[in-house]
Amino acid sequence: NEYESQLKKGDKLVFAAFGGGFTWGSILLTWAYNS
């Protein structure tokens, strides 16, 4: 929430997470609105 003011419409964000047992997940998100 503290970085929301720095994001602009069309910015790309990548989130990645790693867990136990070599589980992982990731997402590519395109910011869709101006704050």
Average pLDDT across the chain, whole number: 92
Please count the CA atoms within 13 angstroms of the CA of 30 that sit on its side-chain side. Answer: 3
pTM to 2 decimal places:
0.66
Q: Say yes or no to pLDDT of 7 above 80.
A: yes
Could you tell me if 11 and 29 are in contact, meaning their C-beta atoms sit under 8 angstroms apart? no
pLDDT bucket at 2, cuts 50 / 70 / 90: confident
| CA-based nearest residue to 25, from 14, 33, 34 | 14
Question: How confident is the model at residue 24, as a pLDDT?
Answer: 94
